[in-house]
């Protein structure tokens, strides 16, 4: 189990296992409660501030300057930060993380089945990739003598049992989270930046897919999301759906 246990307003995690702890809290409060240099990597997907699918949580200012400082504060000196972000945010993330890290690189997730094409937007340039920025310092394990990895991973968006779904009152089936990351992408990143036993933090975890990937790979984790209904996701089904897809 992750050695870091956070108490927020007198409450601990809502769920834990041998590899880590999952919280339901405000990410900003959680970050303030964490000790300095307590995690080996931050891998996260904060709101993009673009009002994605008319979601209220994606409309407010996320204070990238403050988040960059906190990510640097809680990460070990030779650790890593990888943050997904929108095109509009990318320059700000680059500038703010550059205040604390010397090595900054781009990462891309090209999608083979983007939502835009599925909705029939054939006349547009459908959004078919997501960008992230990777930050580290000289002497980090990732940069010392390891076989190089490409700065992208091509997959489709999660489908089938790999995608967490729910049924509406009208009987319609919808995705539980609109921006669920593919476990193949998380597996690739976790393998690149961490070793077995390392601790990964994801303060904007959505349905906690980072926790699913981390525990499957023998990493410790601290994940969090403010929204309670993401607890309905079935980790076993998501993991098995991904593993089944890998066999095909």
- State CA 31 to chain mean position distance: 15
Compute CA distances 225 → 27, 92, 231, whole Å: 7, 23, 10
pLDDT tens readout for residues 218-238? 999 999 998 876 677 777 887
State both tokens at 77: 């000196």
pLDDT tens readout for residues 135-188? 999 888 765 656 667 898 998 877 766 777 666 778 777 777 777 888 999 999
Q: Where are the domains of the chain?
A: 15-247
Residue 88 carries which DSSP code? H
Q: Which residues pair with 136 in a beta bridge?
A: 103
pLDDT at 93 over 80: yes
What pTM does this model have?
0.87
Distance from C-alpha of 240 to C-alpha of 225, rounded to nearest angstrom: 23
- The secondary structure element, H or E, covering residue 24 is none
Distance from C-alpha of 123 to C-alpha of 20, rounded to nearest angstrom: 45
Residues 6+ apart with CB under 8 A from 38: 4, 74, 76, 199
Q: Which is more confidently placed, 54 or 186?
A: 186
Which of these ranges, 60-64, 72-76, 160-164, 199-203, has the smallest mean pLDDT?
Answer: 160-164
- The secondary structure element, H or E, covering residue 110 is strand 103-110
Does domain 15-247 correspond to CATH entry 3.50.50.60? no
Candidates 143, 23, 25; CA nearest to 80 is 143
- The secondary structure element, H or E, covering residue 244 is helix 235-247
- The secondary structure element, H or E, covering residue 90 is helix 87-97
């Amino acid at each position: 189990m992750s050695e870091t246990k956070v108490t927020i307003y007198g409450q601990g995690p809502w769920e834990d296992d041998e590899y880590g702890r999952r919280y339901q809290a405000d990410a900003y409060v959680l970050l303030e409660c964490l000790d300095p240099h307590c995690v080996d990597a931050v891998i996260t997907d904060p709101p993009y501030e673009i009002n994605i699918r008319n979601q209220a949580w994606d409309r407010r200012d996320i204070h990238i300057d403050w988040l960059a400082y906190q990510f640097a504060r809680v990460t070990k000196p030779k650790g890593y930060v990888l943050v997904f972000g929108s095109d509009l945010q990318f320059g700000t993330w680059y500038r703010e993380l550059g205040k604390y890290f010397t090595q900054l690189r781009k990462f891309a997730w090209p999608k083979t089945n983007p939502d835009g094409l599925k909705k029939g937007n054939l006349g547009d340039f459908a959004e078919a990739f997501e960008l992230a920025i990777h930050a580290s310092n000289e002497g980090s394990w990732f940069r010392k003598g390891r076989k190089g990895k490409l700065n992208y991973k091509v997959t489709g968006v999660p489908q089938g049992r790999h995608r967490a779904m729910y049924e509406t009152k009208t009987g319609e089936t919808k995705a539980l989270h609109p921006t669920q990351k593919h476990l193949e992408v998380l597996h690739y990143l976790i393998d690149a930046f961490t070793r077995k036993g390392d601790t990964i933090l994801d303060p904007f975890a959505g349905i906690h897919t980072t926790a699913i990937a981390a525990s499957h790979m023998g990493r410790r984790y601290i994940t969090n999301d403010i929204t309670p209904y993401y607890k309905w996701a079935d980790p076993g089904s998501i993991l098995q759906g991904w593993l089944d897809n890998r066999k095909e």
